[in-house]
Amino acid sequence: MSAPTTPARPSTALLTDRYELTMLEAALRRGTADRRCVFEVFTRRLPAGRRYGVLAGTGRLLEAIQDFRFTADELEWLAAARVVDDATIEWLAGYRFTGSITGYAEGEVFFPYSPVLVVDGTFAETVLLETLVLSVLNFDSAVASAASRMTSAAVDRPCLEMGSRRAHEDAAVAAARAAVVGGFVGSSNLEAGRRYGIPTIGTAAHAFTLLHDDEEEAFRAQVAALGAGTTLLVDTYDVRRGVELAVEAAGTGLGAVRLDSGDLGVLALEVRAQLDALGARATKITVTSDLDEYSIAALAAAPVDSYGVGTSVVTGSGSPTCGMVYKLVAREGRDGALVPVAKTSQAKTGTGGRKAAARRRGADGRAVEEVLVTGADEDVAAWVPQDDSLRGLQVPLVSRGEVDGRWTGPGGLLLAAERHRTSRDELPRGARRLSADEAAVPTVTLRLGG
């Protein structure tokens, strides 16, 4: 990855819902705002047919928390709009998150009720983060989960993200990053390249061919500018003639040809044979055109070298959110001790109290179950697996308000992509199947002290 250049970041404090601030106002008035609280982020179920999810966005979230500051601009607007009272605005002027956050390492796979993030601090400082946490993790994890299915289907062939035109301009950058967490190796988005050091890709569209008087002129112009190692788009007109002209323009050292329409499997076979006959045996074939994990899997036997994926990956391939929630699971009681709390609403029940998490592995090293550890808060917070078959899943992300920089920026993205490769390889055989099924491993509860 190239060295990034990070632009100045604005405040993220208003990337939230109004009721976060109105709850704060009421708690300040009542005297409960300083009660210590523990919030957990989890999902009650995976999208239909999915066997695992992929946590992504943690690094972005930590950066956003660092920028969660109410500057004069935000405070003046809140006052003018009468969102909260003057006392609350005065409190917000000094807001800094001083609590602690632990969670699954970014890139880790997760299952229903996995506590992927645990936020510990006063009610006032933790409740304000709810919307920001969920908007980042739900979107990024949806993209990474889709990307993982695609890179699984592609096996050793690289997948390239090119979906910027199908997403909000800021979401496009986040999606490119999340796709890399899920195993993609490059993106067409330049801002993602600048910000996170992601390799950027792209040469020319059909418009460039149509600009010129004929295909030959277009190809020669591209080769003159970008060199023989470029990728030429050969299906603007007749594919067979396009391949012929591409090799004439670049020689047998042509880097690649791209196919963007038609029956890609059949075309890839024909084009591979034609390239070989023309002496361009090293020229690669990349395919695009509304690909998803299913069409990638269908091309497994075709002589394709790489896949360019757009709409499906940036929209979560039919599951644009992970359904993650941010729930209060413990709060300080009158005696100063943490008391487990949970909703009991029908179909939305929860389990009170802080949870630790580990993954149990069998003799072959593959995961057999997700283990959630419950019990007295101090015991759970201090719990470390003693059984060699258990791998602890939570890592410190923020300690007393200080963000661990390992998880942010381009370095954090590299760690997340590596964590995902390792975590996915740990799943049981069959977990990568695209056919609808239950979660790849069951979730069980281990209660400390009985």
10-39: per-residue pLDDT in tens? 999 999 999 999 999 999 999 999 999 999
pLDDT tens digit sequence for 395-408 = 999 999 999 999 99
CB 431 within 8 A of CB 218: no
Structure tokens at 26: 């009421």
pLDDT of residue 412: 98
Q: How confident is the model at residue 6 (pLDDT cuts 50, 70, 90)?
A: low
Task: For residue 22, give the nearest of 99, 98, 93, 82 by alpha carbon.
Answer: 82
d(CA 416, CA 105): 7
The residue among 211, 215, 167, 164 whose CA lies nearest residue 191 is: 164
Instruction: Answer yes or no: are the C-beta atoms of 381 and 354 closer than 8 Å.
Output: yes
pLDDT computed for residue 9 by the predictor: 78
Burial of 76 (0-12, 13-18, 19+ CB in 10 A): exposed
Q: Is the dihedral of CA 293, 297, 300, 304 positive or negative?
A: negative
DSSP 6-44: PPP----TTSS-HHHHHHHHHHHHHT-TTSEEEEEEEES
On the question of pLDDT at 111 being above 70, the answer is yes
Q: What is the DSSP string of 252-271?
A: TT--EEEE-SS-HHHHHHHH
Domain coordinates of the chain in residue numbers? 18-143+321-348+393-437, 203-301
The CATH architecture of the domain made up of 203-301 is Alpha-Beta Barrel (3.20)
Q: Which residues contact 321 (CB under 8 A, 6 or more apart)?
A: 138, 139, 142
DSSP-assigned beta bridge partners for residue 331: 37, 339
Are both 18-143+321-348+393-437 and 203-301 of the same fold?
A: no
Helix (H, G, I), strand (E, B) or coil at 348: coil
Whether domain 18-143+321-348+393-437 has CATH 3.30.1330.10: the reply is no
The pLDDT, as a whole number, for residue 270 is 98
Please give the pLDDT value at position 344.
80
Position 8 confidence tier, pLDDT thresholds 50, 70, 90: low
Please, what is the average pLDDT of the chain? 95
pLDDT exceeds 80 at position 425: yes
- Identify the pLDDT of residue 343: 81
pTM: 0.95
Residues 172-213 have pLDDT tens digits of 999 999 999 999 999 999 999 999 999 999 999 999 999 999
Q: How many CB atoms lie within 10 A of CB 234?
A: 28
Determine the Cα–Cα distance for residues 15 and 132; give it in Å rounded to an integer: 6
In this prediction, residue 3 carries a pLDDT of 62
User: What number is the average pLDDT over the span 431-446?
Assistant: 92
Are 144 and 179 in contact, with CB atoms under 8 Å apart? yes
Q: 5 pLDDT exceeds 70?
A: no
* E strand or H helix at 332: strand 324-332
Whether residue 348 is predicted with pLDDT greater than 80 in this model: the reply is no
* pLDDT confidence tier of residue 131, bands split at 50, 70 and 90: very high
CA distance 248 to 219: 9
Q: pLDDT tens, 232-290?
A: 999 999 999 999 999 999 999 999 999 999 999 999 999 999 999 999 999 999 999 99
* pLDDT level of residue 359 (50, 70, 90 thresholds): very high
Using 50, 70 and 90 to split pLDDT, how confident is the model at 437?
confident
Rounded to an integer, what distance in angstroms lies between the CA atom of residue 326 and that of residue 16?
Answer: 13
